[in-house]
Structure formats: C-alpha cells, structure tokens
A and B are shown apart, each in its own frame.
Chain A
Amino acid sequence: MKRALSLLVVLMLVLSISAAAMAETVEEALQAAASMSNEELYEKAKEEMAAGAQMNFYSTTSFAEKAASNFMTDYPELANKVVYAEIDDGETYTILTSTIGSGVKDSADMALVQNGPDLKTYLLDEGLSYSYFPEAMKADVDEDNQDPAVVTFINSLFIYHNGSGSINLTNVWQLTEPEWNGKVFFKDPTKETVNLNFLMMLTSPEWSERLAKAYEDYYGKAFEAGEFKNAGYAWIDGFLKNVNYTYTSASKIATGIASGNPGNLGLFVFSKLRKVDEADRGNLTVVQFENEVEGFSGFMYPVYATVANDTDCPYTCALFINYLLSEAGFGGEKSWNSNQGYYSPNKTILKPEGLEDEAYEYWSTRLVFEDLDYIDENYADAYEFIAVRVG
C-alpha cells in the first residue's frame, strides 16, 4: 500500500516535470512566431484551432471587424474562428486586467488598444500581455513602433466650420485667447485617455520648448513660466479654459461643428469626417490643409496590438498581427487605409490616390506623438494639473 502510494507520487512528479518541459509558454511561442513565415504560422494556427481554440480579440476601433473578416477570407480555414468584440476605451484596461490570467473561458486572446501608457502600466509591466513583432517587417517599420507593435496610427486635427471664412489659425497660442472661449470643441480628456496623453505630452521638455518658441513668435516676447512649470502647462491652462465639452464623442464633435455655428473649431479625430453628412461636409476645413500652424496641427496616437499571456492560440494572434501590418490587412476592402486619418506604421503602405490626406511621414513632424516613457514618469503631476482644469 505504502509502496504503491510512493510510486504514484513519483509517477506524478515525473509526469508534471515532463509536461512543463514540453509545453511552450505564450512568450516562447510568440518569439518563435516572430521568425516564421505566414505559411508556417497558418499551419500552426490551424493546429491551434483544431485543438479547440478560438481567437477572441477586443478592439476599440470598429475597422478591426472588417479587417478580421478580410483575414478570414484570406485564410479560409480560420473561418468563424476569429471573433471580434468592441470594447469601450474607458473600460479597456478594467476588463483586460480583470480577465487576463483569471482563466476565464472566451476572454481576450489579443487586443487592439489605444493609450500606450496604460498598456505598459497595466498589462506589459504586469506581465499580463506580451508584445509581438515579426522579424520580416522590421525593415519597414520604425523601431519606435515595434515594441509594442503599432497596427495603425490615428490623428486628431484642428478642423473648423468655414461658414464665416478662414479663422486664420497660425499659432496654437491663439487658442488660449479669451476670444476662443467656448468655441473650441474637444472631448473631455479625463474621459478619453488619448486626449489626455496628448495634453500630457505638451508638458515634456521637447514640446514645451516648441511651445515656448511659438509663444515668442506669437507674442513677440520670451515665455516666462511664472506660476507654471513650463510653456506646456501654461498652454494647457489657457486652452482648457476655452474648451467646450458639449459633444461627448469625436463623431459628435464632427457632425456638431459641421451643423453648428460658423467659426467653431474642434480638435478631433480626422477620420470621423466620414460620419458627417455629405451636405454638411463642405462646412469643415482642416486647418493644416490651409496653412501651417506653429506649435502643432493636432496629435497622433497609435493603436497597439498586444497578446494576452494566457492565450491558447499565440500563433493565430501572430498571424493576425502580421496580416494587420501588411498591405492586404491594412489596405483591404473598406479597411483603414481607404479612409482619411488612418496610417500604417509600415512605410511601404501609402495612402491611396485621390484621398484628401497626407502620408504618415508628412504628419510625423506636425503632430504631437505619445511617448510612453515620458507619460509613465510624469503621469500623476500632469493628470492632476489637467483634471483640476477640466472642472
């Protein structure tokens, strides 16, 4: 009896050790996947699906749904295996941190998320999710955009109602003047993290310097910090005083300004112009397409892909990310590239002809970009400063 028991214990021990040795962690799988070809990944993905997996992915951008259906057309054996779930920006991290690692069935295998700093803080730093980037693409994508992998950039631009002629916005400091009070429309930054990140970035040394220079050009005198830490904080203070939060989403800002009072200005997602009814669309002018704006013309934020640490289909996720980074995935029918305001980090993918838009390269010098590390380090300071001014 005793002997049988000890035998059992030994047997179990051996079994568990060998099982651990055999099983590949998600991290390892992703590393392996990075150097595989799409064909190899497809084979692996089919194996995963055959083992009963299903790839659930959460996304804050609805175009991902279209991309997923194109993906399944191109990889027919994965049909019905890629399931898209829309997720609200505000809840992304609450839901992801709660579900990843909890072993909940059908929770996210991967997610397309915005707001890099939160991705880093809540998921990557905690080991809840991993970044993945294919070796083969490394040449076509800037290194900054590889870890975590950016699948698309989205820009928010100064756009105004042209009913009373040009507003002649040439310097961002104009927007801190009292005449703009209540006429600048922006989504509440405490409710939309990418907007928050944009404001936070202005407090960075790089952007506050740029703003100080713009200040000097506009007012003809050097910027004096006074009660503020730097020009970035001073601009935020002046800007938020003028901001009007009537509209609760970018689409509403777009349609609201288009049908509202002439001379109103919004800083909102460029791609939302597609939501504006054709009859009104002529009312809107993108400031940057009229003239250069000293300071910046808006901001650009990335959408990242991240793979959950408990996924049962890392290879399928990898294949999907590869797909999103490719011409087929990004530029497929009715997907990101056919619209204004979406830019692939893959420099070989250009905006199609005839679209009133510019390439990623063009915007990269004119817009404010997120810097994960800067925001991460200065979060509390900047957040409190901004939150108090939202009211």
Chain B
Amino acid sequence: MTQSYQNPEKEPLKYRIKAFFAKPANILLVVFLVTLIILSLIPLITMLSNMFTVHIGTEKKLYRMDVGSFTLKHFQRLFAGDDWSRVNFWTPLLNSFIVACGSGVLGIIVGGTVAWFITRSDLKCKSFISSVFVFPYMMPAWTLALFWTNMFQNSKVGGGNVGMVESVFGICMPEWFVYGIFPMIIVIGLHYSPFAYLLIGGILKNMDATLEESATILKASRWTIIKRITVPIVIPAILSTFLLIFSSGFSSYTVPVFLGSAVKMFTLSTKMRALIQAGYQGQGYIIAFVSIAMGCFILGINQWFTGKRKSFTTVTGKSGQVSLVKLRGANWPISIIMIIFTVFFAIVPLVSFALESVIKQPGNYRFSNMTLDFWIGTEGSTYETGMISGILLNPTMWKALGRQVLLALVVAMIVGTSGMLIGYACVQRRGTKLSQMVESLAFFPYLMPAMSFGTIYLAVATSQSFKFLYGTFGLLVLVASVKFLPFASRSGVNSMLQIAPEIEESAIIFGTPWVKRMTRILFPIQKSSILSGYLLPVMSVMREVALFTLLVPYARYLLTTMLFSFNETGYAQYGSAVTLLIIVVIIIINNLTNKLTGASFDKGIGG
C-alpha cells in the first residue's frame, strides 16, 4: 500500500521561508526594509532621544546636569506658556502652518490650473508654457525670494533700497507685499507649483477622458464637471501634492530667512536653528519633531482620503481620444495671461540674475556700471570681491561645481535604481504588510526637515562607529540618497504599476532569470519613465542646500552651499552668477538626457 499524501496543518517553517525568498521581490523588500530602518529610523531615534537628554553647553550649565542624562526640562521650558513659548514655538508654529498651507494651496491652484489647461484644453503655445513653467522648480527656492525682493523692495519699506519695479514704474508696493507671509507663500507656492503641475498633469493625462465626456453628455457645465468630476478624481494626487508642498513649506528655512527677517516674522525652522545655535538643542529637536509630526498628520489625512472604498485606479480603458476643451474666444487672453505669468516667474528671474551678475553697484543698470569681472575677472580686479577671481576662472568654483554634479549623478544612480527596485517589489507584492512598510518607510525621509536631517546625520557621522564617514563625499551621497528616495520610489511604483503582470509572467514561463527580466523586459518597457526617475534626484541635489550645510567640510565644497553663503553675506553678483550656472547645468543635464533617451525630469513625477 502506498502512503497517501497528507496535507500538513502548516507547512514547516523552513519551507515557508524558502518559498518566501524564492521570490526576488521578497528578497528586495526585506533588503530595503532593513536598509531603510537603519537609514531613516536611526536618525529619528537619535532625534527622539535628543528631545529628552541634556546637551553640552548651555543646557548642561542651565540645568546643572550631566551631558546625556534624561530630562523633561526641554518640554517644560518650550511649553511653559510664557513669552518664551510664544516667541519660540506658538507664533512660529502658526506662521509655519500658514506658510505651509498657503503655499500648498497656491502651488496646487497654480500648478493644477496650468496642468488642466495644458492637458485638457486647446490652449496656445502649450509647449512653451509647459517647458518654461518648470524653471522655478530648478532654481533654489531662496533665489526666487531674492528675486522677489530685488523686484519689489522700495524706498518705503525695509532699508529703502529701490527695486526694479520702483525704478522702472515708480510704484511702491506695501510692506506686506514685499516681506512676510504673503511673499513667502508666493515664493514657496510658485517654487513648488511646477511640481504640482507635473503630478496633477500626469494624472489628468492618464485619466480616462470618457469620465468627463459622460458628464458633458449629461448636460453638466464645464465648471460643474471640473468641480464634481475632475477635481474629486484627481483629489488623491492633489492631496499628496499638498502633502509634499506642505512639508517643504513647513520646514523651509532659506525663504523665511530672506523674506521674514525684515518684518520680524519667524518660522519654526528659523527658530529651530536659532535655538540649536544658542545651545537649546533639546527644544530645537522638539521643534524638528513637530515638523515631522505635522507631515505625518497630513499624510494620515491623505491616506484616509484615499481609503479602499473609492479606489481611485482610474487608468483604464482607451483614453487615447482626449478631446480638448475649446477655449474659443477666451483662448488668446488666457494664453497671453499664462505666458506673461510663466515669463515673469521663470524667465524674468533668469534675466534679472544675469543682470545682477554684471553690475558693479546694485540697483544701477546703466551700461557704465556693468562689468564681466564677476564672471571672468582676474585677481587684479579693483573691488573687494570676496573671491580671488570671476567664477568662471575660479578653480574653487569649478571644483565645487564638479563635486555637485558628481554628487547629483551618483545619488541619482543610487536613488533611481533603488526607486525602480522598490517600485518593482512593492507592486509585485502589493497589498502585503511588508510592501506597505517599505513603501511608507521609503517615503518617510520626505517628512524630515532637511535641516534637522543634516543635523542628525552630523551627529551620527561623528559618533565613534561611523566616524569614517564624516567630511567625506560618501556621507553626502548617503544623506542625499536617503532624503531623495521618496520621489524615486513613488515614480518607481507608478511606472511599475503600468506594466501588466502578464508581461513578466510570460518571461517567467520561458525560464528567464530575474535579472534578465528586469534588464531585458521591464526596464526597456518603462525606459523613459524610469530614466526620468533618475533625473529628478539630479535636479534635487543640484539645488539642495539645507541638507548639506552642516555636512560639507566647508562652505565652498559644494556649489549650492557656496551660493547660499554668497547670498546670505551679500555677494549679490557672485550669487546671481552661480544661480544662473546651476540652472544652466540642470537644463543641460535634462536636455542631454532627453535627447539621448527621451526621458525628461517632468516625466518622472507624472509617471
């Protein structure tokens, strides 16, 4: 008698583990889970512990306790409810919140409107608008803030320095327009609006046009359709865009420095830095934590909204036949307004940077006041420049540029590849706890304000076990990779979602090994989208400063840290020249990649 097969109650653990790791997606998920825990949770735990410990210096003296001992005093002090709490926490919190919400809303309105017009209407000059509209996203945010003050400062506000608008039109803008919350919202909102444009535009482009058409047939007006159909369907994209802009706005440091000081308006991040600098590290870290908590809160709302029931997977059916809304008589006026708008925020800053970089005395645009010394001047140049020569002849500048580009490329390789693999693994194992954990962990670094991220990594890198990292290029690579992973993993997930599982399955049946499936089938199919996922970190690194300020061995190590110190200390001409240089480099990299592979960074977000 043969023994019949008996189905065991449970497969032995050994076999289950073996079966689990037989899938490459599982291996990837576990590897990323461990790596991400180490790279993003360690900083978080460091930060949490910093909230409860006594630090060297002021705190040690003040509390008369040993460095490193446990304390709740930071909380007691920061939330004591007196002027100190108000000035260092509550007012800045409110300011940050207003700025973050305002810029989130503005970014979405501007970006969403442009996205709608570009993808859904027969607007004129689309390609011009869409390519130029993304420029502000390539500039470091604070350079836009400087542009704003250069434009609108006037003899009635601040120090009475005459800006372009006053010198050309004789108009003096009121103080609220030039400094404070209003311009901060404008600058941060517009800086991130291209981002909203790309994200929302991507959804609109992929959204089945029949969803709108069927409402048209049911006699809904254009406006009703936008309100009741289009907007609710893109709501998840809008919300996640809002989350991203909110987090960035909430933790923005550079813009408030340039726009807030004049009216004594401070945000949480400027206060955080001041507190840490003054030796109140514990309270500084509490503020950093509040920024993260705020991001998590918005993230929670986001996930609640995109809950299971309504399942917004709208990318179905044939959507090739998008019929564009005819703007008819309004077409030219709207197009012209859009062009003026994009030109003002995208081209005019570049022109103004170009101008600022060639004038000797700020505010005087006469030809006699112009010089190319800041670009190509040599050591003999007459005025005190703070640098030995013009930036194009300066080896320090070229080295800094070289490092920045190298950093951007290395980070892009790491982040792009990780993003693609995370996307692959998460999509493969979609719905499992493991894949959810990896996806949210990969997103987590976004919620960490760049400034505190840098501070924490400095602490980690100078601890005994990781000291080999400090001051090295590798540390910058590591930090930037972790920080910019969120976008890449999102774009990875998006692009992998668009590949039907059958495509890989048919290759499995042929016995194609995993690496071949990735390199020969999946990657080529989504080539442009994946490559775009590589491009986005390039740009992020090219204009990032807050993350690097503490980690570079010295300010002129990278081009952006050099630029920030130029701008902060007042080397306006060098600052403008370097800003232009950064934008030009980003555009060159983008166009080169586009020419060679068809990818461009704007495709990275839209997916």
| Interface positions of A (Cβ within 8 A of B) | 58, 62, 85-88, 90-91, 93-95, 97-99, 102-107, 118, 121-122, 126, 185, 188, 190-191, 193, 196, 244-257, 259-261, 264, 274-275, 277-280, 376, 379-380, 383-384, 387-388, 390-391
Complex CA gap A380/B73 in Å reads 14
Contacts of B360 on A, CB cut-off 8 Å? 277
25 A-B interface contacts by CB (under 8 A): A85-B554, A86-B556, A87-B555, A91-B550, A94-B277, A95-B458, A98-B458, A103-B467, A104-B467, A104-B471, A105-B471, A107-B471, A193-B278, A245-B261, A246-B179, A248-B570, A255-B570, A256-B159, A277-B361, A277-B362, A379-B61, A380-B58, A380-B61, A383-B278, A387-B278
Please pick, from B257, B264, B386, the residue contacting A390 in the complex, using a CB distance under 8 A.
B264
- Are the C-beta atoms of A387 and B274 separated by less than 8 Å? yes
- Least CB separation from B571: chain A residue: A251
Please pick, from A191, A247, A261, the residue contacting B274 in the complex, using a CB distance under 8 A.
A191
- Are the C-beta atoms of A256 and B261 separated by less than 8 Å? no
Instruction: Type the 1/0 row for B357-375, where 1 means its CB is closer than 8 Å to any CB of A.
Output: 0001111100000000000
Complex CA gap A245/B179 in Å reads 11
Complex CA gap A88/B360 in Å reads 26
Give the distance to chain B from A315, nearest Cβ to Cβ, in Å: 23
- Are the C-beta atoms of B87 and A121 separated by less than 8 Å? no
Question: With A87-B555, A190-B277 in contact, do A246 and B550 touch (Cβ < 8 Å)?
Answer: no
Contacts of B264 on A, CB cut-off 8 Å? 245, 390-391
The reply on B57 being an interface residue by CB < 8 A is yes
- Are the C-beta atoms of A380 and B62 separated by less than 8 Å? yes
Give the distance to chain B from A98, nearest Cβ to Cβ, in Å: 4
The reply on B568 being an interface residue by CB < 8 A is yes
- Are the C-beta atoms of B56 and A260 separated by less than 8 Å? no
Q: A190-B274, A247-B159, A248-B568 are in contact. List 6 more A-B contacts (CB 8 A).
A: A245-B261, A245-B262, A247-B261, A251-B569, A252-B569, A277-B360
Complex CA gap A390/B159 in Å reads 18
- Are the C-beta atoms of A388 and B160 separated by less than 8 Å? no
The reply on B81 being an interface residue by CB < 8 A is no
Specify which of A104, A188, A379 lies most central, judged by the most chain B CB atoms within 10 Å of its CB. A104
Closest 4 CB pairs of A and B: A261-B160, A85-B554, A251-B570, A391-B264
Please pick, from A86, A88, A102, A246, the residue contacting B467 in the complex, using a CB distance under 8 A.
A102
- Are the C-beta atoms of A388 and B84 separated by less than 8 Å? yes
Give the distance to chain A from B176, nearest Cβ to Cβ, in Å: 14
- Least CB separation from B58: chain A residue: A379
- Are the C-beta atoms of A264 and B464 separated by less than 8 Å? no
- Are the C-beta atoms of B565 and A88 separated by less than 8 Å? yes
Complex CA gap A190/B88 in Å reads 11
| Interface positions of B (Cβ within 8 A of A) | 56-58, 61-62, 83-84, 87-88, 91, 155, 158-162, 179, 257-258, 261-262, 264-266, 273-274, 276-279, 360-364, 383-384, 386, 455, 458-459, 461-464, 467-468, 470-471, 549-550, 553-556, 565, 568-571
Specify which of A86, A106, A379, A380 lies most central, judged by the most chain B CB atoms within 10 Å of its CB. A380
Complex CA gap A278/B471 in Å reads 40
Give the distance to chain A from B164, nearest Cβ to Cβ, in Å: 14
Complex CA gap A185/B467 in Å reads 42
Complex CA gap A255/B359 in Å reads 14
Please pick, from A98, A121, A264, A277, the residue contacting B159 in the complex, using a CB distance under 8 A.
A264
Question: With A95-B458, A277-B383 in contact, do A58 and B261 touch (Cβ < 8 Å)?
Answer: no
Contacts of A62 on B, CB cut-off 8 Å? 386
Complex CA gap A246/B159 in Å reads 7
Complex CA gap A115/B227 in Å reads 58
Please pick, from B276, B462, B555, the residue contacting A104 in the complex, using a CB distance under 8 A.
B462
Main secondary structure of the interface of A (DSSP, over half): helix
Complex CA gap A219/B554 in Å reads 49
- Are the C-beta atoms of A99 and B470 separated by less than 8 Å? yes
- Are the C-beta atoms of B160 and A102 separated by less than 8 Å? no
- Least CB separation from B85: chain A residue: A388
- Are the C-beta atoms of A95 and B550 separated by less than 8 Å? yes
- Are the C-beta atoms of B179 and A90 separated by less than 8 Å? no
Please pick, from A121, A245, A260, the residue contacting B61 in the complex, using a CB distance under 8 A.
A121
Contacts of B258 on A, CB cut-off 8 Å? 248
- Least CB separation from B271: chain A residue: A190
Complex CA gap A380/B550 in Å reads 25
Contacts of B361 on A, CB cut-off 8 Å? 259, 277, 279-280
- Are the C-beta atoms of B58 and A121 separated by less than 8 Å? yes
- Least CB separation from B565: chain A residue: A88
Give the distance to chain A from B218, nearest Cβ to Cβ, in Å: 56
- Are the C-beta atoms of A246 and B56 separated by less than 8 Å? no
- Are the C-beta atoms of B570 and A102 separated by less than 8 Å? no
Give the distance to chain B from A380, nearest Cβ to Cβ, in Å: 5
Give the distance to chain B from A130, nearest Cβ to Cβ, in Å: 17
Please pick, from A97, A248, A279, A380, the residue contacting B257 in the complex, using a CB distance under 8 A.
A248
Complex CA gap A383/B275 in Å reads 10
- Are the C-beta atoms of B554 and A104 separated by less than 8 Å? no
Complex CA gap A254/B361 in Å reads 13
Give the distance to chain A from B397, nearest Cβ to Cβ, in Å: 14
Contacts of B455 on A, CB cut-off 8 Å? 94
Please pick, from B277, B362, B470, B565, the residue contacting A102 in the complex, using a CB distance under 8 A.
B470
Contacts of A245 on B, CB cut-off 8 Å? 261-262, 264
Specify which of A95, A99, A106, A126 lies most central, judged by the most chain B CB atoms within 10 Å of its CB. A95
- Least CB separation from A93: chain B residue: B57
- Least CB separation from B281: chain A residue: A94
- Are the C-beta atoms of A90 and B273 separated by less than 8 Å? yes
- Are the C-beta atoms of B549 and A91 separated by less than 8 Å? yes
- Are the C-beta atoms of A391 and B87 separated by less than 8 Å? yes
Contacts of A384 on B, CB cut-off 8 Å? 84
Contacts of B470 on A, CB cut-off 8 Å? 98-99, 102, 104, 107
Contacts of B261 on A, CB cut-off 8 Å? 188, 245-248
- Least CB separation from B179: chain A residue: A246
Complex CA gap A387/B571 in Å reads 28
Specify which of B179, B386, B569 lies most central, judged by the most chain A CB atoms within 10 Å of its CB. B569
Give the distance to chain A from B436, nearest Cβ to Cβ, in Å: 36
Complex CA gap A388/B92 in Å reads 12
Complex CA gap A118/B361 in Å reads 37
Give the distance to chain B from A336, nearest Cβ to Cβ, in Å: 13
Contacts of A391 on B, CB cut-off 8 Å? 87, 91, 264-266
Specify which of A93, A118, A391 lies most central, judged by the most chain B CB atoms within 10 Å of its CB. A391
- Are the C-beta atoms of A193 and B87 separated by less than 8 Å? no
- Least CB separation from B87: chain A residue: A388
Please pick, from B56, B91, B363, B556, the residue contacting A259 in the complex, using a CB distance under 8 A.
B363
- Are the C-beta atoms of A260 and B161 separated by less than 8 Å? yes
Contacts of B62 on A, CB cut-off 8 Å? 379-380
Complex CA gap A260/B162 in Å reads 7
Question: With A95-B550, A264-B159, A380-B62 in contact, do A126 and B56 touch (Cβ < 8 Å)?
Answer: yes
Please pick, from A105, A249, A255, the residue contacting B568 in the complex, using a CB distance under 8 A.
A249
- Are the C-beta atoms of A106 and B555 separated by less than 8 Å? no
- Least CB separation from A264: chain B residue: B159
